[in-house]
């Protein structure tokens, strides 16, 4: 071993020691400082109920400390030590505002909504799927998450959206969905072709003022709140609270909503699907008769 | 016997009313607090809004409207300042009718709308374009709803007092405020910076002035039979 090599090895070794020391001291300071997780009475009593499983906040607290605290933080406000490196930011549970809900905009999600979010994770974000935890553990975490905001003690979750059976996938349905996409001005953010390049796209911020992008349909990337047509239906009907995406529940009739779902699928050109196949065949024959989507087309904006 | 009873009753009522009149010398609600809100320093410049991306709105404004975060008038006056009784008030806490908020020409009208907590609020879209109404509530619960042209008004209310910023994500220049208060004794300054809080009984009050960019200022005011005066001066910063 040359002197130089020794020096490098020594330096690396001390660095490793230092790092280890730092970790230990952090852990210790955590033990000594007042532990925000060693909770309020509400921590002990909060429960969740998911399909026959009762989750307990007391158990969830320990799981949270092990698996969630790094991003969501010891105070549940989304300011864990990893948060500064993460975009979009981890959820701030103290606000009790959640994107993926089956309930109306402005209301609390159901236990099942939170459970599904933990189970599914959020693609294209740092939130992984927590399937490795068993259902009881995930239910416990749901119960614990609900201790971060007093709203859970005062309010009931909203009523879950009633989604009627899907209508047939037809070219008429897709064409009508396309009209709605124009009329409801989805394209203002998502872009005429769903490329997330509409005129307002670059100006969007979430409710905390962080820049946020609209969903880009063309890449074939999965939806944050679930993959199926029913999920897609629910996403635009309930909106994604805390983001620019509004709720359309008051302005779209159930059958029309299915038409919009069918059209949105045709924008996912990188994701083979039934709607896309049907649409491509139609477009090959009638494409030139279609009015382009956007500001100069007939519809909402003149 | 019966006659006697009624006579006694009448006497009691008469005495009661007489006492009440004496207990509250000037008639209730005759007092008021008036004043002017001004600034010192340099406020930020309000910029003309480019609505070319929304022609249906752009054509409604002969000259482009400007942003309204710090609306000023001649003589360093501040417009859109909410001046209200924050303590000492026994005013109305329930409202008999609702208030109306309009989206017209891609602008919120009025820029700041006051209402009571629990008061019915109707939000109209008068434009030929879709808006999304996104009140960024923190004390109350935030929500976000789409309202395409021709939709019925959105009927809602706010349960707790709060100054709630309102925005439209589709038209990012649209910006307004809901001032949800627990008092109906409130006045918004006009272009000349003046306000007039009417209907006050004589007594001591705390008056608060709120400006969306510069926060709040308070002062104590004693109201007699006529108009008491309270002026507010905010320190303006250029950014």
Query: pLDDT, tens digit, for every residue of B91-100?
Result: 667 778 999 9
State the first-to-last Cα distance of chain A, in angstroms, to the nearest integer: 78
Q: Which residue has the higher pLDDT, B233 or B19?
A: B233
**Is the confidence at residue A29, as pLDDT, over 50?**
no
- CA nearest neighbour of A185 among B223, B127, B23, B140: B127
CA–CA separation, B32 and B207 (whole Å): 12
Q: Å from A151 to nearest chain B CA? A: 9
CA–CA separation, A142 and A111 (whole Å): 7
Q: Is residue B95 part of a domain?
A: yes
Residue A124 pLDDT level (bands cut at 50, 70, 90): confident
Chain A residue at shortest CA distance from B171: A200
Q: Which residue has the tokens 């020096």?
A: A7
**Is the confidence at residue A201, as pLDDT, over 90?**
yes
pLDDT value at position B26? 52
pLDDT value at position B29? 77
Query: pLDDT, tens digit, for every residue of A251-267?
Result: 999 999 999 999 999 99
Which of B130, B134, B144 lies closest to A300 in CB terms? Answer: B130
Q: Is residue B193 part of a domain?
A: yes
CA–CA separation, A19 and A22 (whole Å): 5
Q: Which of A185, A239, A298 to mutate to test the interface with B (most CBs of B within 10 A)?
A: A185
CB contact under 8 A, B170 and A188: yes
**Is the confidence at residue A19, as pLDDT, over 90?**
no
- Residue numbers of the domain that contains B88: 27-236
Residue B121 pLDDT level (bands cut at 50, 70, 90): very high
CA–CA separation, B213 and B82 (whole Å): 12
Residues B69, B213 contacting (CB under 8 angstroms):
yes
Query: pLDDT, tens digit, for every residue of B201-222?
Result: 999 999 999 999 999 999 999 9
**Is the confidence at residue A71, as pLDDT, over 80?**
yes
pLDDT value at position B94? 77
CA–CA separation, A213 and A219 (whole Å): 14
B167: CATH: 2.60.40.420
Q: Is residue B17 part of a domain?
A: no
- Checking DSSP bridges between strand B175-181 and strand B31-41, what pairing results, if any? unpaired
CB contact under 8 A, B56 and A105: no
Chain A residue at shortest CA distance from B135: A207
Q: Is residue B150 part of a domain?
A: yes
- Checking DSSP bridges between strand B72-73 and strand B77-78, what pairing results, if any? antiparallel
CA–CA separation, B163 and B210 (whole Å): 9
- CA nearest neighbour of B115 among B54, B183, B58: B183
Query: pLDDT, tens digit, for every residue of A229-257?
Result: 999 999 999 999 999 999 999 999 999 99
Residue B239 pLDDT level (bands cut at 50, 70, 90): confident
Residues A168, A176 contacting (CB under 8 angstroms):
no
Q: Is residue B99 part of a domain?
A: yes
For residue B154, the chain A residues in CB contact (below 8 A) are: 250
Chain B residue at shortest CA distance from A206: B169
State the first-to-last Cα distance of chain B, in angstroms, to the nearest integer: 81
CB contact under 8 A, B55 and A295: yes
For residue A189, the chain B residues in CB contact (below 8 A) are: 169-170
Record the tokens describing residue A114, joined without a space: 């939170």
Residue B5 pLDDT level (bands cut at 50, 70, 90): low
CA–CA separation, A196 and A245 (whole Å): 13
For residue A188, the chain B residues in CB contact (below 8 A) are: 130, 170
Check CB contact of A105 with chain B, cutoff 8 Å: yes
Strands laid side by side in the B175-181 sheet? B112-116, B175-181, B162-167, B131-135, B145-147
pLDDT value at position B88? 87
Q: Å from B199 to nearest chain A CA? A: 36
B75-103: average pLDDT: 89
Query: pLDDT, tens digit, for every residue of B147-156?
Result: 999 999 999 9
Residue A20 pLDDT level (bands cut at 50, 70, 90): very low
Query: pLDDT, tens digit, for every residue of B25-50?
Result: 455 678 999 999 999 999 999 999 99
From the number of C-beta atoms within 10 Å of its C-beta (0-12, 13-18, 19+), residue A74 rates as middle
Q: Is residue B18 part of a domain?
A: no
CB contact under 8 A, A302 and B132: no
Query: pLDDT, tens digit, for every residue of A149-190?
Result: 999 999 999 999 999 999 999 999 999 999 999 999 999 999
Q: Å from A264 to nearest chain B CA? A: 18
Query: pLDDT, tens digit, for every residue of A207-235?
Result: 999 999 999 999 988 999 999 999 999 99
Check CB contact of A230 with chain B, cutoff 8 Å: no
Which of B54, B134, B148 lies closest to A184 in CB terms? Answer: B148
The verdict on ipTM greater than 0.90 is no
CA–CA separation, B93 and B117 (whole Å): 8
A33-39: average pLDDT: 51
What domains appear along chain A, each with residue ranges and CATH number? 41-154 (1.10.760), 171-289 (1.10.760.10)
Chain A residue at shortest CA distance from B169: A244
Q: Which of residues 137-166 of A touch B (CB under 8 A)?
A: 151
For residue A106, the chain B residues in CB contact (below 8 A) are: 141-144
Residues B118, B236 contacting (CB under 8 angstroms):
no
Angle at B101 between CA B95 and CA B106, to 5 degrees: 170
pLDDT value at position B177? 98
Q: Which of B49, B150, B165, B170 to mutate to test the interface with A (most CBs of A within 10 A)?
A: B170
Mean predicted lDDT score pLDDT of chain A: 87
For residue B146, the chain A residues in CB contact (below 8 A) are: 184, 239, 246-248, 250-251
Check CB contact of A106 with chain B, cutoff 8 Å: yes
Query: pLDDT, tens digit, for every residue of A88-116?
Result: 999 999 999 999 999 999 999 999 999 99
**Is the confidence at residue B223, as pLDDT, over 90?**
yes
> B82: which strand partners?
B188, B210
CB contact under 8 A, B128 and A302: yes
Q: Is residue B192 part of a domain?
A: yes
Check CB contact of A242 with chain B, cutoff 8 Å: yes
Q: Is residue B194 part of a domain?
A: yes
- Split into its structural domains, chain B has a count of 1
CB contact under 8 A, A301 and B147: no
CA–CA separation, A59 and A179 (whole Å): 50
Record the tokens describing residue A22, joined without a space: 């730092």
B221-234: average pLDDT: 93
Check CB contact of A204 with chain B, cutoff 8 Å: yes
**Is the confidence at residue B68, as pLDDT, over 70?**
yes
For residue B159, the chain A residues in CB contact (below 8 A) are: none
Residue B23 pLDDT level (bands cut at 50, 70, 90): very low
Residue A298 pLDDT level (bands cut at 50, 70, 90): very low
**Is the confidence at residue A147, as pLDDT, over 90?**
yes
Record the tokens describing residue A128, joined without a space: 């992984």
CB contact under 8 A, B53 and A200: yes
CB contact under 8 A, A184 and B134: no
């Amino acid at each position: 071993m040359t002197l130089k090599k020794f020096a490098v090895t020594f330096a690396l070794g001390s660095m490793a020691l230092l790092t280890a020391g730092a970790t230990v001291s952090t852990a210790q300071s955590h033990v000594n400082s007042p532990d925000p997780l060693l909770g309020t009475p509400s921590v002990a009593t909060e429960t969740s109920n998911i399909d026959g499983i009762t989750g307990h906040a007391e158990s969830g607290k320990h799981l949270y400390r092990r698996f969630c605290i790094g991003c969501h933080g010891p105070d549940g406000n989304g300011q864990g030590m990893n948060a500064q490196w993460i975009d979009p930011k981890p959820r701030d549970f103290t606000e009790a505002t959640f994107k993926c809900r089956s309930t109306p905009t402005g209301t609390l999600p159901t236990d099942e909504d939170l459970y599904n979010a933990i189970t599914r994770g959020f693609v294209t974000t740092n939130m992984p799927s927590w399937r490795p935890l068993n259902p009881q553990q995930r239910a416990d975490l749901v119960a614990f998450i609900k201790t971060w905001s007093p709203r859970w003690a005062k309010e009931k979750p909203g009523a879950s959206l009633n989604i009627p059976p899907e209508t047939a996938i037809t070219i008429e349905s897709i064409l009508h969905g396309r009209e709605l996409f124009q009329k409801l001005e989805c394209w203002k953010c998502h872009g005429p072709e769903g490329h997330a390049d509409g005129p307002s796209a670059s100006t969007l911020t979430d409710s905390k003022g962080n820049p946020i992008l609209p969903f880009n349909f063309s890449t074939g990337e999965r939806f944050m709140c679930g993959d199926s047509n029913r999920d897609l239906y629910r996403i635009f009907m309930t909106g994604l609270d805390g983001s620019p995406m509004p709720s359309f529940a008051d302005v779209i009739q159930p059958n029309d909503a299915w038409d919009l779902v069918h059209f949105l699928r045709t924008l996912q050109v990188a994701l083979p699907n039934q709607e896309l196949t049907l649409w491509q065949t139609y477009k090959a024959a009638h494409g030139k008769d279609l009015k382009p989507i956007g500001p100069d087309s007939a519809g909402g904006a003149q | 016997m019966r006659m006697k009873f009624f006579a006694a009753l009448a006497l009691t009522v008469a005495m009661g009313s007489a006492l009440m009149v004496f207990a509250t010398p000037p008639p209730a609600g005759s007092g008021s607090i008036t004043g002017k809100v001004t600034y010192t320093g340099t406020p930020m410049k309000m910029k003309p809004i480019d609505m070319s991306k929304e022609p249906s709105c752009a054509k409604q404004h002969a000259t482009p409207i400007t942003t309204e975060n710090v609306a000023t008038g001649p003589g360093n006056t501040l417009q859109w300042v909410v001046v209200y009784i924050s303590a000492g008030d026994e005013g109305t806490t329930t409202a008999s009718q609702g208030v109306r908020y309009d989206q017209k020409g891609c602008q919120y009208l009025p820029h700041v709308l006051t209402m009571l907590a629990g008061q019915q609020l109707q939000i109209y879209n008068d434009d030929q374009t879709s808006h999304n109404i996104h009140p960024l509530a923190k004390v109350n619960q935030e929500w976000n709803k789409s309202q395409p042209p021709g939709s019925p008004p959105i009927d809602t209310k706010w349960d707790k007092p709060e100054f709630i910023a309102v925005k439209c994500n589709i038209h990012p220049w649209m910006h307004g405020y809901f001032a949800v208060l627990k008092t109906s004794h409130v006045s918004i300054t006009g272009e000349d910076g003046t306000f007039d809080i009417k209907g006050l009984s004589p007594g001591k009050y705390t008056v608060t002035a709120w400006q969306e960019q510069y926060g709040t200022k308070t002062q104590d005011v004693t109201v007699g039979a006529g108009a008491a005066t309270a002026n507010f001066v905010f320190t303006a910063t250029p950014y």
